Structure 1
Amino acid sequence: MRDVVRHLIRALDDGRELLLCQVVETRGSTPQKAGAIMAVDPDGGQVGTLGGGCVENEVKQNAVRQLGEEGVRLHSFVLDHDYAWADGLICGGKMVIATEALKGAGALDYYRRLHQAIETGEGFTEAVVVAPERVEDSSPGRRFLFDHDGKPLTCRPGGAFPDVLGERLTALVDRPRARVDQGVAWLPVLPRIRLVVVGAGHVGQAVGNLAAEADFDVWVVDDRSQYASRERFPKAQKFIVGPVEEVLKTLEVTRNTFVLIVTRGHGHDQEALFHMAPTPASYVGLIGSQRKIKMIFESLREMGIAADDLARVTAPVGLDIGSRTVPEIAVSIVAELIARRNLGPKAATPTPSTCAS
Structure 2
Amino acid sequence: MRELLLELEQAVQQQKPVCYTCLVETRGSTPQKPGAAMLIYRDGSQAGTLGGGCVEAEVKRRALRMFEADAPEIMTFQLDSDYGWDDGLICGGRMKVLVDPIRSEADLEYYKSMLQLLDGDQGCTEAVVINPETAAGGSETDRYLIDAESNIVAWRGQPEPPSQLWDGLKPIKNRPRPYVNGGIAYLTFLQTCQLVIVGCGHIGQKVAALASDVGFEIIAVDDRQEYCNSERFPDAKQLIVGSFDTVLSDLTVNKDTFIIIVTRGHNHDEEALGHLAQTEARYIGMIGSKRKVKLIFEDLLRTGTPRAALADVHAPLGFDIGSQTVPEIALSIVAELVAYRNLDTIPASYQRPSLVEEIKTPDQVG
TM range (shorter): 0.7 to 0.9
Moved more, 66-75 or 122-131: 66-75
Q: Percent identity?
A: 40
1:25 CA displacement: 1.7
Distance in 2, Cα, partners of 1:194 & 1:7 = 27
Distance in 1, Cα, partners of 2:128 & 2:333 = 35
Counterpart of 2:290 in structure 1 is 294
Moved more, 6-15 or 143-152: 6-15
Distance in 2, Cα, partners of 1:64 & 1:314 = 58
Q: Go from structure 1 to structure 2 and tell me whether the alpha carbon gap of 1:163 and 1:55 turns closer, same or farther (over 3 Å shift).
A: closer
Distance in 2, Cα, partners of 1:349 & 1:218 = 28
Distance in 1, Cα, partners of 2:10 & 2:291 = 55
Q: Go from structure 1 to structure 2 and tell me whether the alpha carbon gap of 1:347 and 1:9 turns closer, same or farther (over 3 Å shift).
A: farther
Counterpart of 1:129 in structure 2 is 129
Distance in 2, Cα, partners of 1:13 & 1:236 = 35
Distance in 1, Cα, partners of 2:332 & 2:89 = 28
What amino acid is aligned across from residue 297 of structure 1 in structure 2?
A: V
Counterpart of 1:353 in structure 2 is none
Summarize the alignment of residues 40-55 of structure 1 with structure 2, pairs less than 5 Å apart. Answer: 40-52=40-52, 54-55=54-55
Distance in 1, Cα, partners of 2:319 & 2:49 = 29
Summarize the alignment of residues 77-116 of structure 1 with structure 2, pairs less than 5 Å apart. Answer: 77-79=77-79, 87=88, 90=91, 93-116=93-116
Counterpart of 1:164 in structure 2 is 163
**Larger radius of gyration, structure 1 or 2?**
2
Q: Go from structure 1 to structure 2 and tell me whether the alpha carbon gap of 1:29 and 1:332 turns closer, same or farther (over 3 Å shift).
A: farther
**Does the CA-based 8 Å contact 1:130-1:185 persist in structure 2?**
yes
What amino acid is aligned across from residue 159 of structure 2 in structure 1?
A: A
The alignment partner of 1:345 has SS state of coil
Distance in 2, Cα, partners of 1:349 & 1:29 = 33
What CA deviation, in whole Å up to 9, does each residue of 1:78-134 have, x standing for no partner?
4568866964654x5433221222232023222221111112111112111213455
User: What is the Cα-based RMSD across aligned positions, in Å?
Assistant: 4.0
Summarize the alignment of residues 221-240 of structure 1 with structure 2, pairs less than 5 Å apart. Answer: 221-224=221-224, 228=228, 236-240=236-240
How many residue pairs get matched? 344
Distance in 1, Cα, partners of 2:280 & 2:214 = 23
Q: Go from structure 1 to structure 2 and tell me whether the alpha carbon gap of 1:174 and 1:332 turns closer, same or farther (over 3 Å shift).
A: closer
Q: Go from structure 1 to structure 2 and tell me whether the alpha carbon gap of 1:187 and 1:294 turns closer, same or farther (over 3 Å shift).
A: same
The alignment partner of 2:263 has SS state of coil
Counterpart of 1:354 in structure 2 is none
Distance in 2, Cα, partners of 1:253 & 1:45 = 44
The alignment partner of 1:269 has SS state of helix
Q: Go from structure 1 to structure 2 and tell me whether the alpha carbon gap of 1:261 and 1:312 turns closer, same or farther (over 3 Å shift).
A: closer
TM-score (norm. length: structure 2): 0.74
What CA deviation, in whole Å up to 9, does each residue of 1:242-271 have, x standing for no partner?
322343345333342222333344432343
The alignment partner of 1:74 has SS state of strand
